[in-house]
Amino acid sequence: VPNITAPNPTDTTTGSSSAVAPPTTPAPVSSTAGPLEPLPPGWEMRTDQHGRSYYVDHNTRTTTWERPQPLPQGWERRVDNRGRVYYVDHNTRTTTWHRPNAESLSNYANWQEWRGNRTLEQFGQRFLFPQQQSSAQDNDPLGPLPVGWEKRIDSNNRVYFVNHSNRTTQWEDPRTQGIMQEDPLPEGWEMRYTTEGVRYFVDHNTRTTTFQDPRGGTQKGPKGAYGVPIQYERSFRWKLGQFRYLCQSNVLPGHVKITVARDNLFEDSFAQIMRLQPFDL
């Protein structure tokens, strides 16, 4: 009988499958008892010289004290062209390097449910605000809104306007948009809006359209803190904040946000990664 040093549960042996020795880590004591399911294909249970049971995986030539559980329904074990074992979930058409078990699948299902509920909640907050009518609407000094427009208030008590004609929303009051000082369009030109509310221009002289303002060089007035004209700054500030919020809220699991300085890239990234918990990575 060959005398082979006992490997750790995750170590591999270079000999034949019959020469695999038991792991050296003390065997854990199981607190539950019940009928045992058959071992997965390629596995074998053995007993060491102290009467302790261990398990041999002939597929990877490794040993472990823990009894392997069969793969859940719809899962398959495969090996890539580099000899690495991975698992295929035919239910969701996804792959993973980690062997699935009942606990991990339950945690993943709970996470999926939580993420779906959160997405619906965010969608509701963004697009399904309860309609709130101002009691002083009749006394508005600007007069009634144009046909097809509606004034609403979001959950943060911010006033915005809904254009039911093209199903868009905006912060600017449509009754004051025309007050901006702009030169008239050249003869034969017309300004229109797409279904998404994007402005474009029609040249009836050449029967062409463009997003470029034909009045080129039109004075847009002084610029605000964000480098855009003051009259657009409020809308731009909200869109910028909303964009950053959505980027942060829709982050995928297993991804973390790291803020570093250009002149201190390695040190900043190393310090932040070392402060993270293993499950965040």
Looking at residue 197, its pLDDT comes to 56
> Alpha-carbon distance 53 to 62, whole Å?
14
Q: Return the axis-axis angle of helices 230-249 and 102-127, rounded to nearest 10°.
A: 160
Question: In sequence order, what are the residues at sequence separation of 6 or more whose Cβ sits closer than 8 angstroms to the Cβ of residue 82?
Answer: none
DSSP state, residue 16? -
Distance CA 56, CA 18 (A): 9
- CA dist 246 and 276 (Å) reads 23
**In Å, how far are 46, 110, 115, 180, 195 from 189, measured between CA atoms?**
87, 57, 48, 19, 20
- Can you give the pLDDT at residue 206? 92
pLDDT value at residue 126: 53
Q: Output the six-digit token pair for 259.
A: 């803020």
**Phi, psi (rounded to 5 degrees) for 125:** -70, -30
| Strand residue runs (E) in 51-107 | 53-57, 62-64, 75-79, 85-89, 94-96
- What's the pLDDT score for residue 205? 92
Amino acid of residue 75: W
Q: Where do the domains of the chain lie, and which CATH numbers do they carry?
A: 1-70 (2.20.70.10), 71-128 (2.20.70.10), 131-179 (2.20.70.10), 182-218 (2.20.70.10)
SS3 content of the chain, % helix, strand, coil (to 5): 25, 20, 55
Using 50 as the pLDDT threshold, list the residues of the chain that sit under it: 1-17, 29-33, 128-136, 179, 219
- The SS3 call for residue 236 is helix
Count of all residues that appear for the chain in the document: 281
